[in-house]
Structure 1
Amino acid sequence: MATERELSDFLKSVEKRAFKRSVYHVRNEEAALDIVQDSMMKLAEHYGDKPAAELPMLFQRILSNCTLDWFRRQKTRNALFSNMSDFELPGEDGEFDLLETYESLEDSQRTESAEDATRRAQILREIEVEIQELPARQREAFLMRYWEEMDVAETAAAMGCSEGSVKTHCSRAVQALGKALRAKGIHL
Protein backbone atom coordinates (compact mmCIF):
# COMPACT_ATOMS: atom_id res chain seq x y z
CA MET A 1 0.00 0.00 0.00
CA ALA A 2 1.46 3.35 -1.07
CA THR A 3 1.87 5.92 1.66
CA GLU A 4 0.73 9.48 1.14
CA ARG A 5 4.38 10.48 0.81
CA GLU A 6 5.08 7.77 -1.82
CA LEU A 7 2.05 8.87 -3.84
CA SER A 8 3.11 12.51 -3.64
CA ASP A 9 6.70 11.69 -4.63
CA PHE A 10 5.49 9.57 -7.53
CA LEU A 11 3.22 12.31 -8.85
CA LYS A 12 6.04 14.86 -8.61
CA SER A 13 8.35 12.53 -10.49
CA VAL A 14 5.99 12.03 -13.45
CA GLU A 15 4.37 15.46 -13.66
CA LYS A 16 6.68 17.11 -16.19
CA ARG A 17 7.01 14.10 -18.51
CA ALA A 18 3.26 13.46 -18.39
CA PHE A 19 2.59 17.09 -19.33
CA LYS A 20 4.98 16.97 -22.27
CA ARG A 21 3.54 13.66 -23.43
CA SER A 22 0.03 15.11 -23.27
CA VAL A 23 1.09 18.20 -25.20
CA TYR A 24 2.49 15.99 -27.93
CA HIS A 25 -0.86 14.23 -28.15
CA VAL A 26 -3.35 17.09 -27.91
CA ARG A 27 -1.12 19.96 -29.12
CA ASN A 28 -2.65 22.35 -26.61
CA GLU A 29 -0.90 23.31 -23.37
CA GLU A 30 -4.03 24.15 -21.38
CA ALA A 31 -5.78 20.93 -22.41
CA ALA A 32 -2.63 18.93 -21.63
CA LEU A 33 -2.44 20.46 -18.17
CA ASP A 34 -6.11 19.61 -17.55
CA ILE A 35 -5.55 16.04 -18.71
CA VAL A 36 -2.54 15.55 -16.44
CA GLN A 37 -4.28 17.09 -13.45
CA ASP A 38 -7.37 14.97 -14.03
CA SER A 39 -5.21 11.85 -14.33
CA MET A 40 -3.38 12.63 -11.11
CA MET A 41 -6.64 13.25 -9.27
CA LYS A 42 -8.09 9.95 -10.51
CA LEU A 43 -4.98 8.05 -9.49
CA ALA A 44 -5.01 9.57 -6.00
CA GLU A 45 -8.76 9.18 -5.56
CA HIS A 46 -9.24 5.67 -6.91
CA TYR A 47 -5.85 3.98 -6.63
CA GLY A 48 -4.00 5.78 -3.85
CA ASP A 49 -4.27 2.65 -1.71
CA LYS A 50 -2.45 0.46 -4.24
CA PRO A 51 1.19 -0.60 -3.73
CA ALA A 52 3.73 2.00 -4.86
CA ALA A 53 5.12 -0.41 -7.47
CA GLU A 54 1.77 -0.45 -9.29
CA LEU A 55 1.44 3.35 -9.53
CA PRO A 56 3.49 3.87 -12.74
CA MET A 57 1.43 1.46 -14.85
CA LEU A 58 -1.86 2.62 -13.36
CA PHE A 59 -0.98 6.25 -13.99
CA GLN A 60 0.06 5.63 -17.61
CA ARG A 61 -3.21 3.83 -18.26
CA ILE A 62 -5.26 6.61 -16.62
CA LEU A 63 -3.35 9.25 -18.58
CA SER A 64 -4.01 7.39 -21.85
CA ASN A 65 -7.71 7.06 -21.02
CA CYS A 66 -8.03 10.73 -20.06
CA THR A 67 -6.36 11.70 -23.34
CA LEU A 68 -8.77 9.50 -25.31
CA ASP A 69 -11.68 11.03 -23.39
CA TRP A 70 -10.43 14.50 -24.34
CA PHE A 71 -10.35 13.53 -28.02
CA ARG A 72 -13.87 12.12 -27.78
CA ARG A 73 -15.12 15.35 -26.21
CA GLN A 74 -13.37 17.35 -28.93
CA LYS A 75 -14.98 15.23 -31.63
CA THR A 76 -18.41 15.82 -30.11
CA ARG A 77 -17.70 19.51 -29.61
CA ASN A 78 -16.45 19.90 -33.17
CA ALA A 79 -19.52 18.14 -34.52
CA LEU A 80 -21.74 20.56 -32.62
CA PHE A 81 -19.69 23.69 -33.16
CA SER A 82 -17.82 23.01 -36.39
CA ASN A 83 -17.29 26.68 -37.16
CA MET A 84 -15.53 27.39 -33.87
CA SER A 85 -11.79 26.89 -33.73
CA ASP A 86 -10.22 28.16 -30.53
CA PHE A 87 -7.49 25.54 -30.30
CA GLU A 88 -4.04 26.48 -31.45
CA LEU A 89 -0.87 24.58 -32.03
CA PRO A 90 2.17 25.45 -29.97
CA GLY A 91 4.02 28.34 -31.60
CA GLU A 92 7.53 29.63 -31.35
CA ASP A 93 7.03 30.57 -27.71
CA GLY A 94 5.64 27.13 -26.89
CA GLU A 95 8.80 25.10 -27.47
CA PHE A 96 9.07 21.73 -25.77
CA ASP A 97 12.45 20.26 -24.98
CA LEU A 98 12.15 16.52 -25.57
CA LEU A 99 15.69 15.71 -24.57
CA GLU A 100 16.06 18.22 -21.76
CA THR A 101 17.84 15.80 -19.48
CA TYR A 102 20.23 14.76 -22.24
CA GLU A 103 21.00 18.38 -23.04
CA SER A 104 21.76 19.34 -19.46
CA LEU A 105 23.99 16.29 -19.08
CA GLU A 106 25.82 17.13 -22.29
CA ASP A 107 26.23 20.77 -21.21
CA SER A 108 27.70 19.76 -17.86
CA GLN A 109 30.15 17.32 -19.44
CA ARG A 110 31.73 19.57 -22.03
CA THR A 111 31.94 23.10 -23.27
CA GLU A 112 30.82 23.55 -26.84
CA SER A 113 30.97 26.31 -29.36
CA ALA A 114 27.93 28.47 -30.01
CA GLU A 115 27.72 26.90 -33.46
CA ASP A 116 27.58 23.38 -32.00
CA ALA A 117 24.99 24.41 -29.42
CA THR A 118 22.83 26.03 -32.09
CA ARG A 119 23.10 22.99 -34.34
CA ARG A 120 22.14 20.64 -31.50
CA ALA A 121 19.16 22.86 -30.56
CA GLN A 122 18.01 22.79 -34.21
CA ILE A 123 18.27 19.00 -34.32
CA LEU A 124 16.26 18.68 -31.12
CA ARG A 125 13.54 20.96 -32.53
CA GLU A 126 13.40 18.84 -35.68
CA ILE A 127 13.10 15.66 -33.60
CA GLU A 128 10.25 17.22 -31.61
CA VAL A 129 8.44 18.25 -34.80
CA GLU A 130 8.78 14.77 -36.26
CA ILE A 131 7.55 13.11 -33.06
CA GLN A 132 4.41 15.26 -33.25
CA GLU A 133 3.86 14.05 -36.81
CA LEU A 134 3.83 10.37 -35.86
CA PRO A 135 0.48 8.57 -35.81
CA ALA A 136 -1.03 8.66 -32.31
CA ARG A 137 -0.37 5.02 -31.35
CA GLN A 138 3.20 5.11 -32.66
CA ARG A 139 3.85 8.36 -30.81
CA GLU A 140 2.34 6.95 -27.61
CA ALA A 141 4.39 3.74 -27.76
CA PHE A 142 7.57 5.63 -28.66
CA LEU A 143 7.21 8.12 -25.81
CA MET A 144 6.41 5.45 -23.25
CA ARG A 145 9.28 3.18 -24.27
CA TYR A 146 12.02 5.70 -24.95
CA TRP A 147 11.03 8.71 -22.88
CA GLU A 148 9.19 7.17 -19.95
CA GLU A 149 11.66 4.25 -20.13
CA MET A 150 8.90 1.71 -19.64
CA ASP A 151 9.57 -1.85 -20.72
CA VAL A 152 7.53 -3.57 -23.44
CA ALA A 153 5.18 -5.31 -20.99
CA GLU A 154 4.47 -2.10 -19.04
CA THR A 155 3.86 -0.18 -22.26
CA ALA A 156 1.52 -2.89 -23.55
CA ALA A 157 -0.46 -2.85 -20.30
CA ALA A 158 -0.67 0.96 -20.29
CA MET A 159 -1.76 1.09 -23.94
CA GLY A 160 -4.14 -1.85 -23.65
CA CYS A 161 -2.55 -3.82 -26.48
CA SER A 162 -0.20 -6.76 -26.97
CA GLU A 163 3.56 -6.62 -26.54
CA GLY A 164 3.90 -7.40 -30.25
CA SER A 165 1.84 -4.31 -31.08
CA VAL A 166 4.09 -2.17 -28.88
CA LYS A 167 7.17 -3.50 -30.67
CA THR A 168 5.56 -2.85 -34.06
CA HIS A 169 4.51 0.70 -33.13
CA CYS A 170 7.98 1.48 -31.76
CA SER A 171 9.73 0.02 -34.77
CA ARG A 172 7.58 2.00 -37.17
CA ALA A 173 8.06 5.17 -35.13
CA VAL A 174 11.84 4.79 -35.12
CA GLN A 175 11.87 4.08 -38.87
CA ALA A 176 9.62 7.06 -39.61
CA LEU A 177 11.70 9.38 -37.42
CA GLY A 178 14.94 8.18 -38.97
CA LYS A 179 13.62 8.59 -42.49
CA ALA A 180 12.21 12.07 -41.80
CA LEU A 181 15.41 13.26 -40.16
CA ARG A 182 17.63 11.84 -42.92
CA ALA A 183 15.41 13.63 -45.46
CA LYS A 184 16.25 16.86 -43.62
CA GLY A 185 19.96 16.06 -43.73
CA ILE A 186 20.18 15.04 -40.08
CA HIS A 187 22.19 11.90 -39.45
CA LEU A 188 22.37 10.78 -35.81
Structure 2
Amino acid sequence: MLVTTPAPPEMEAPAAAAWGSLDAFLAEVGTRAFRFAEAGLRNRDDALDAVQDAMMRMIAYQDRPAAEWTPLFWSILRRRIIDLQRRSRFRLRWMLPAVANDDPRGEDTGIDWADTGPGPAETQERGETYARLVEALRTLPARQREAFTLRVLEELDVATTAQVMGCSEGSVKTHLSRARQALNLQLEDVL
Protein backbone atom coordinates (compact mmCIF):
# COMPACT_ATOMS: atom_id res chain seq x y z
CA MET A 1 0.00 0.00 0.00
CA LEU A 2 2.79 2.42 0.84
CA VAL A 3 5.46 2.95 -1.75
CA THR A 4 8.89 2.71 -0.18
CA THR A 5 11.20 5.54 -1.08
CA PRO A 6 14.79 5.81 -0.03
CA ALA A 7 15.58 8.26 2.73
CA PRO A 8 16.97 11.57 1.48
CA PRO A 9 20.77 11.75 1.69
CA GLU A 10 20.64 14.75 4.02
CA MET A 11 18.85 12.66 6.68
CA GLU A 12 20.95 11.52 9.57
CA ALA A 13 21.58 7.80 10.04
CA PRO A 14 19.17 7.37 13.03
CA ALA A 15 16.34 9.07 11.11
CA ALA A 16 16.99 6.86 8.08
CA ALA A 17 16.80 3.78 10.31
CA ALA A 18 13.46 4.99 11.69
CA TRP A 19 12.19 5.38 8.11
CA GLY A 20 12.68 1.66 7.51
CA SER A 21 11.09 0.76 10.83
CA LEU A 22 8.05 2.93 10.10
CA ASP A 23 7.77 1.30 6.68
CA ALA A 24 7.78 -2.13 8.31
CA PHE A 25 5.16 -0.99 10.85
CA LEU A 26 2.88 0.34 8.10
CA ALA A 27 3.29 -2.81 6.01
CA GLU A 28 2.36 -4.94 9.01
CA VAL A 29 -0.72 -2.91 9.98
CA GLY A 30 -2.01 -2.17 6.45
CA THR A 31 -4.41 -5.08 5.92
CA ARG A 32 -6.00 -4.77 9.36
CA ALA A 33 -6.32 -1.02 8.92
CA PHE A 34 -8.10 -1.55 5.61
CA ARG A 35 -10.58 -3.94 7.21
CA PHE A 36 -11.21 -1.45 10.01
CA ALA A 37 -11.75 1.39 7.54
CA GLU A 38 -13.96 -0.72 5.29
CA ALA A 39 -16.20 -1.69 8.20
CA GLY A 40 -16.65 1.97 9.07
CA LEU A 41 -16.98 3.40 5.57
CA ARG A 42 -18.68 0.50 3.78
CA ASN A 43 -16.90 1.44 0.60
CA ARG A 44 -13.69 -0.16 -0.64
CA ASP A 45 -12.31 2.90 -2.43
CA ASP A 46 -12.98 5.24 0.50
CA ALA A 47 -11.37 2.72 2.86
CA LEU A 48 -8.25 2.51 0.69
CA ASP A 49 -8.08 6.31 0.58
CA ALA A 50 -8.45 6.59 4.36
CA VAL A 51 -5.69 4.05 5.04
CA GLN A 52 -3.36 5.63 2.51
CA ASP A 53 -3.96 9.08 3.98
CA ALA A 54 -3.32 7.80 7.51
CA MET A 55 -0.10 6.15 6.36
CA MET A 56 1.06 9.33 4.65
CA ARG A 57 0.37 11.34 7.79
CA MET A 58 2.40 8.87 9.84
CA ILE A 59 5.53 9.85 7.91
CA ALA A 60 5.51 13.14 9.81
CA TYR A 61 5.82 11.14 13.03
CA GLN A 62 8.65 8.84 11.98
CA ASP A 63 11.00 10.40 14.55
CA ARG A 64 8.66 9.49 17.41
CA PRO A 65 9.43 6.35 19.42
CA ALA A 66 8.04 3.19 17.84
CA ALA A 67 5.96 2.53 20.96
CA GLU A 68 3.82 5.59 20.11
CA TRP A 69 3.11 4.55 16.52
CA THR A 70 0.26 2.10 17.21
CA PRO A 71 -2.09 4.45 19.11
CA LEU A 72 -1.06 7.35 16.89
CA PHE A 73 -1.80 5.48 13.66
CA TRP A 74 -5.17 4.19 14.84
CA SER A 75 -6.14 7.67 16.07
CA ILE A 76 -5.24 9.21 12.71
CA LEU A 77 -7.13 6.51 10.82
CA ARG A 78 -10.19 6.80 13.05
CA ARG A 79 -10.35 10.58 12.57
CA ARG A 80 -9.97 10.17 8.81
CA ILE A 81 -12.84 7.66 8.75
CA ILE A 82 -15.06 10.03 10.71
CA ASP A 83 -14.19 12.87 8.29
CA LEU A 84 -15.10 10.73 5.29
CA GLN A 85 -18.35 9.61 6.93
CA ARG A 86 -19.34 13.22 7.57
CA ARG A 87 -18.52 14.28 4.02
CA SER A 88 -20.46 11.35 2.63
CA ARG A 89 -23.52 12.19 4.71
CA PHE A 90 -23.32 15.83 3.64
CA ARG A 91 -23.01 14.93 -0.04
CA LEU A 92 -25.88 12.47 0.14
CA ARG A 93 -28.11 14.84 2.03
CA TRP A 94 -27.48 18.12 0.20
CA MET A 95 -25.81 17.55 -3.11
CA LEU A 96 -27.34 14.30 -4.34
CA PRO A 97 -30.79 14.02 -2.73
CA ALA A 98 -32.28 12.05 -5.64
CA VAL A 99 -29.60 9.35 -5.68
CA ALA A 100 -30.57 6.17 -3.88
CA ASN A 101 -28.16 3.38 -3.10
CA ASP A 102 -29.80 -0.02 -3.60
CA ASP A 103 -27.17 -1.83 -1.53
CA PRO A 104 -26.25 0.04 1.69
CA ARG A 105 -23.47 -2.43 2.42
CA GLY A 106 -21.20 -1.13 -0.33
CA GLU A 107 -19.96 -2.56 -3.58
CA ASP A 108 -17.67 -5.32 -2.32
CA THR A 109 -19.75 -7.39 0.05
CA GLY A 110 -18.52 -10.60 -1.53
CA ILE A 111 -14.89 -10.18 -0.45
CA ASP A 112 -13.59 -13.32 1.19
CA TRP A 113 -11.00 -12.38 3.82
CA ALA A 114 -10.76 -15.85 5.30
CA ASP A 115 -7.40 -17.56 5.45
CA THR A 116 -6.89 -20.37 3.01
CA GLY A 117 -7.63 -23.61 4.81
CA PRO A 118 -6.74 -27.16 4.06
CA GLY A 119 -9.86 -27.67 1.97
CA PRO A 120 -12.50 -25.76 0.03
CA ALA A 121 -15.31 -26.61 2.47
CA GLU A 122 -13.44 -25.11 5.41
CA THR A 123 -12.48 -22.07 3.34
CA GLN A 124 -16.11 -21.56 2.35
CA GLU A 125 -17.29 -21.91 5.94
CA ARG A 126 -14.70 -19.44 7.21
CA GLY A 127 -15.66 -16.99 4.49
CA GLU A 128 -19.33 -17.21 5.36
CA THR A 129 -18.57 -16.80 9.06
CA TYR A 130 -16.39 -13.74 8.41
CA ALA A 131 -19.04 -12.24 6.12
CA ARG A 132 -21.63 -12.68 8.87
CA LEU A 133 -19.28 -11.07 11.40
CA VAL A 134 -18.72 -8.09 9.08
CA GLU A 135 -22.46 -7.72 8.54
CA ALA A 136 -23.08 -7.93 12.29
CA LEU A 137 -20.35 -5.36 12.95
CA ARG A 138 -21.95 -3.00 10.44
CA THR A 139 -25.21 -3.05 12.39
CA LEU A 140 -23.48 -1.82 15.55
CA PRO A 141 -23.27 1.87 16.43
CA ALA A 142 -19.92 3.37 15.40
CA ARG A 143 -18.45 3.60 18.91
CA GLN A 144 -19.32 -0.02 19.71
CA ARG A 145 -17.88 -1.18 16.38
CA GLU A 146 -14.66 0.78 17.02
CA ALA A 147 -14.31 -0.55 20.56
CA PHE A 148 -14.83 -4.15 19.44
CA THR A 149 -12.49 -3.89 16.47
CA LEU A 150 -9.67 -2.21 18.39
CA ARG A 151 -9.93 -4.33 21.55
CA VAL A 152 -10.80 -7.76 20.14
CA LEU A 153 -9.57 -7.83 16.56
CA GLU A 154 -6.56 -5.52 16.95
CA GLU A 155 -5.88 -6.68 20.53
CA LEU A 156 -5.08 -3.18 21.80
CA ASP A 157 -5.22 -2.73 25.56
CA VAL A 158 -7.98 -0.68 27.20
CA ALA A 159 -5.79 2.39 27.77
CA THR A 160 -4.59 2.50 24.18
CA THR A 161 -8.11 1.95 22.85
CA ALA A 162 -9.38 4.79 25.04
CA GLN A 163 -6.61 7.02 23.72
CA VAL A 164 -7.45 6.13 20.11
CA MET A 165 -11.19 6.63 20.61
CA GLY A 166 -10.76 9.82 22.62
CA CYS A 167 -12.80 8.64 25.59
CA SER A 168 -12.34 7.16 29.05
CA GLU A 169 -11.36 3.57 29.75
CA GLY A 170 -14.77 3.03 31.35
CA SER A 171 -16.47 4.13 28.12
CA VAL A 172 -14.37 1.67 26.14
CA LYS A 173 -15.44 -1.14 28.47
CA THR A 174 -19.09 -0.12 28.20
CA HIS A 175 -19.00 0.09 24.40
CA LEU A 176 -17.18 -3.24 24.21
CA SER A 177 -19.65 -4.94 26.52
CA ARG A 178 -22.63 -3.70 24.52
CA ALA A 179 -20.96 -4.70 21.24
CA ARG A 180 -20.26 -8.22 22.50
CA GLN A 181 -23.82 -8.57 23.74
CA ALA A 182 -25.27 -7.45 20.40
CA LEU A 183 -22.88 -9.67 18.41
CA ASN A 184 -23.67 -12.68 20.60
CA LEU A 185 -27.38 -12.24 19.86
CA GLN A 186 -26.77 -11.91 16.11
CA LEU A 187 -24.19 -14.69 15.82
CA GLU A 188 -25.35 -17.18 18.45
CA ASP A 189 -25.63 -20.02 15.92
CA VAL A 190 -22.01 -19.43 14.77
CA LEU A 191 -20.38 -19.04 18.18
TM-score scaled to structure 1, two decimals? Answer: 0.82
> Which residue pairs with 1:41 in the alignment?
56
Alignment of 1:1-188 (within 5 A): 3-45=18-60, 47-81=61-95, 82-85=97-100, 89-91=105-107, 94-97=110-113, 100=114, 103-104=115-116, 107=117, 114=121, 117-182=123-188, 186-188=189-191
Distance in 2 between residues matched to 1:157 and 1:30, nearest whole Å = 27
- 8 Å contact from structure 1 (residues 27, 90) kept in 2: yes
The structure that is helix-richer by fraction is 1
> 1:118 Cα deviation (Å)?
3.9
Matched residue SS, 2:56:
helix
Give the structure, 1 or 2, with the largest relative contact order (CA under 8 Å, sep 6 or more): 1
> What residue identity is the alignment partner of 1:9?
A
Q: Deviations over 1:39-71 (max 9, x none)?
A: 1111113x1221111000100100011111112
Given that residues 39 and 66 in structure 1 are in contact (C-alpha distance below 8 angstroms), is that contact kept between their aligned partners in structure 2? yes
Unaligned regions of 5+ residues in structure 1, if any?
Answer: none
**Identical positions, percent:** 41
Q: Distance in 1 between matches of 2:83 and 2:184?
A: 31
Please state how far the C-alpha of 1:96 moved relative to its aligned partner: 4.7
What's the C-alpha RMSD, in Å, of the aligned pairs?
2.3
Q: Structure 2: which 5+ residue stretches go unaligned?
A: 1-14
Aligned-partner Cα distance in 1 for 2:179–2:90: 29
Say if 1:136 and 1:3 are closer, same or farther in 2 by CA, change over 3 A. Answer: same
In terms of mean alpha carbon deviation, does 156-165 or 69-78 score higher? 69-78
Structure 2 vs 1, CA of residues 88 and 30 (structure 1 numbering), >3 Å: closer, same or farther?
farther
AA at the equivalent of 1:176: A
* Contact 1:28/1:88 (<8 A) preserved: no
